[in-house]
Amino acid sequence: MRFLAVIILLSNLWGQAWTDYLRSPIKWAVGLTNGYDNNVLRLSAIEKDDAALKQTILGGTKTFDSHYVRFSLSGLKKIQLGDREKQIQFFAKSNLSNYIQYKHRQYWSGYVKASYHWGAYRRLEYMLRHLDNYYMRHYKDLDITVNQLFACSFTDREQRLLISHPIKLRLWITGSVSYTQRYYDQSFTEFDSDIFTTTLKVSKKFRDFGTISLEGVYGIADNITFGKGAKSSDLDRSYRHTELYLPLSYDQGMLGFEVVGFSLRTDFRQYEVEDIGDPLHSGRSHRETKFDIWGEKNVKENLMISCTIRFRNRFTDSHYDWVSELKSFDQIHAWISIEWKMLYDRY
C-alpha cells in the first residue's frame, strides 16, 4: 500500500497515470557458480596438523578443501518517472549454496534493494540482506563440556542506507551506514553481536580505461550477550574494525575478457577485552588481506561468464604466541560463474 501511495503521489506531481509506471519490463537473471575452497574452515597450520590425529575438528569431513556450487535468481524492476533522469529501482537476489565435501555448509542468502535515482551517480538506496544459518566450524560448548565439539553457525540480518553523489565529471562519492544483527545458534549465543558500520568510497571513471575506487570502512561490534546468563557469557567478545578497499577494473578488453580487474581489501580488527581469564581474545588483533583477480565476458547478448580467484591471509597478533599461531591462516578461493539474463514484459 505504501508503494502504491508513492507511485500515485509521483504521478500527480509529474502528470502521468500511476498505472503507466508499472508497465516497465522485469529483468530476470539465473546464475550458476562452480567454485573451489582450499581451506573451508579457515584452519591454521597447527590445526591442520591436529586434525590428522583428531578428525572431529573437521566436523566429520576428511578433507580441508571442498568444491561448491551456488544457484542464484535475481530480478530488477525499473520505474521511469516523468522526468527522464529520475527513476525508482527494485532489485532482489537469492542464492542457494552447497559445499560438496561439507554437509554442514549448506545455506541460503539473499537481499532486496529499493533505490531512487535522479541523475548520473545520484542515488539513494535502502537494502535488506539475510544470510541464513552459515556454518563456521565445530567448537567446544564451554557451558556443557570442554571436550566435545558442536557445530557452530550464525545468521546475519543487515539493513543498509546508502547515498551516492557526483563530485565532478566521472568522479563521485558514496557513503553508507549499516546495522547487522549477527546471532549464533543456541549453543554459542555468547558470541551474539550487533554491528554498526559506516563506509565512505570515492570512485573515478577514466575514459578508455575503466574505474578505480578507494573505500574506507569503520565498524563497532557490540557483544550483546556479554555478562548475561551462562558462564561463557562472562567474557566480552566486542571488537572494532577498520577496513581499506581498493578495486580497479579495466574495460578495454584483455586476455579474451571484456572487463578485467583486481581488488585489495585489508581489514584490521581489535578486540576490546583485556582479561587474563580470556587469553584467546585478550589483547588480540588481526590483519586480514584479500586479493582478488577477475575477468568478465559476454558470450552472448544475454549470457555472461566471469572467473575469479581470491588469495586470503590472516595474521593474528596476541600477547600469547600460541594464540597468534592458532588464529592465523591462508586460504585460496577460485570460482567460475555463468549468468543468463531474461526479460519479462507482459505489456
**For the chain, what percent of residues have pLDDT higher than 70?**
88
- Domain borders along the chain are 22-344
Q: Say how many C-beta atoms besides its own lie within 10 A of residue 21's C-beta.
A: 21
- CA distance linking residue 75 with residue 27, whole number of Å: 6
Mean pLDDT value of segment 80-106: 92
pTM for the whole structure: 0.88
pLDDT of 4 strictly over 60: no
Query: Is the pLDDT confidence value at 5 over 60?
Result: no
Residue 115 pLDDT > 80 = yes
Segment 26-51 shows an average pLDDT of 94
Q: Dump pLDDT digits (tens) for 262-292.
A: 999 999 999 877 666 667 767 788 999 999 9
Q: Using pLDDT thresholds of 50, 70 and 90, give the confidence band for residue 219.
A: very high
The CATH number of 22-344 is: 2.40.160.40
